[in-house]
Amino acid sequence: MAGKPAVGQAFQWYREGEFARALEAARRLLEVDPSDVNALHVAGLATARLGDAAGGLALIERALAAAPASVPLWLSRGKVLLDAGREDEAREAFAKAAALDPAGYNAHLELGLLDAKRSRPRDAARSLLRAWRSRHDDVFAQRELFELLRAHPREFAAAPPAPRAPVARPRITLVICSIDPVKFEAAKRSFARAFGDWEYELLGIHDARSLAEAYNRALRACRGEIVVFSHDDVDVLSADLGGALARAFERADVVGVVGSARLAGPAWGARMADAMIDRGVDIIF
């Protein structure tokens, strides 16, 4: 919403936590132009953060009267209402923002987090999934979605069961790069649960000079038709990891398992986010 340089500075002070300076700058702008939507916006946010939620809301609503289709204003209204404990009204504001920008990330994320907090797991899951689909390279929504699914297994029990594993069981090699014995053992146990009765080869790399060197060394030593590379700080959710991998590799040469903390922009995984999700979610679930 920041337009003129002075407004941009006010928003910058607000983001840095200097709420009084942001409010003073916004007030100076409003003395010149009382209808300045951007100044009203930052003034409302700063006023609310300084303890006057009602005053902050009044300023944001003045801005909304002039710019009723502004998604940032509806989001800000929702956040101020949420901080004031007015959850029903906050949800209405976030829903309005989502309706104005159906492909937007922030509104769906806020709806998902609020519905999860209010024990509405199915509504929360829908919103978090929409947020995740709109921004694949930032997986906060993905993490919150998986935590929600794990916390409410009965709510999602109607999901179709995983297809049966293929008759042919390809050889699998699991490579874990780790310098922490405790984490390594925990990862081993997690994968053992996920593989169940599948036979697999485990290669632990504990003295790597780099991740690339470790994985290349493992590739030279492994005997599997499928090679799984993993860090040691993972918890595998799949109840049939071997079957999921075998099915995925029937239609793909590379399968990305969704579950990293962040996918960097230049990484091939970020560029192929749709393909990763299409081929990876069945493994995670």
- The predicted-structure confidence for 156-196, as pLDDT tens digits, reads as follows 765 555 556 555 789 999 999 999 999 999 999 999 999 99
For the residues 210-221, what does the mean pLDDT come to?
88
Q: Which candidate, 86, 78, 23, 15, places its Cα nearest to that of 50?
A: 23
All structural domains of the chain, each given as residue ranges with its CATH number in brackets, are: 5-151 (1.25.40.10), 172-284 (3.90.550.10)
Please, are residues 262 and 138 in contact by the beta-carbon 8 Å criterion? Answer: yes
Q: What is the pLDDT of residue 280?
A: 37
Q: Report which of residues 216 and 96 the model is more confident about.
A: 96
Given a cut of 50, is residue 237 above it in pLDDT? yes
Query: What is the pLDDT confidence band of residue 83, given thresholds at 50, 70 and 90?
Result: very high
Given a cut of 60, is residue 55 above it in pLDDT? yes
Given a cut of 60, is residue 261 above it in pLDDT? no
Given a cut of 80, is residue 258 above it in pLDDT? no
Backbone angles phi, psi at 197, to 5 degrees: -90, 10
> In angstroms, what CA-CA distances link 240 with 14, 76, 166, 187, 284?
48, 43, 12, 16, 9
Q: Report which of residues 263 and 79 the model is more confident about.
A: 79
What is the rounded CA–CA span in Å between residue 244 and residue 162?
8
Given a cut of 50, is residue 115 above it in pLDDT? yes
Q: What is the pLDDT of residue 281?
A: 35
Query: What is the pLDDT confidence band of residue 257, given thresholds at 50, 70 and 90?
Result: low
Q: Report which of residues 147 and 136 the model is more confident about.
A: 147
Q: Which candidate, 266, 254, 209, places its Cα nearest to that of 227?
A: 254
Q: Name the least confident of 22-26, 131-135, 240-244.
A: 240-244
The CB density around residue 109, as the number of other CB atoms within 10 Å, is 24
Query: What is the pLDDT confidence band of residue 3, given thresholds at 50, 70 and 90?
Result: very low
Both tokens of residue 109? 């994320």
What is the biggest distance separating any 2 CA atoms in the chain, rounded to whole angstroms?
A: 76
Q: What is the pLDDT of residue 174?
A: 94
Q: What is the pLDDT of residue 243?
A: 87
> In angstroms, what CA-CA distances link 38 with 44, 216, 219, 257?
10, 54, 56, 42
Q: Name the least confident of 14-23, 220-229, 252-261, 269-278.
A: 269-278
> In angstroms, what CA-CA distances link 9 with 12, 39, 185, 212, 265?
5, 11, 51, 44, 28
Average pLDDT, the chain: 85
Given a cut of 80, is residue 284 above it in pLDDT? no
Q: What is the pLDDT of residue 161?
A: 56
Q: Name the least confident of 10-14, 25-29, 113-117, 233-237.
A: 233-237
Query: What is the pLDDT confidence band of residue 256, given thresholds at 50, 70 and 90?
Result: low
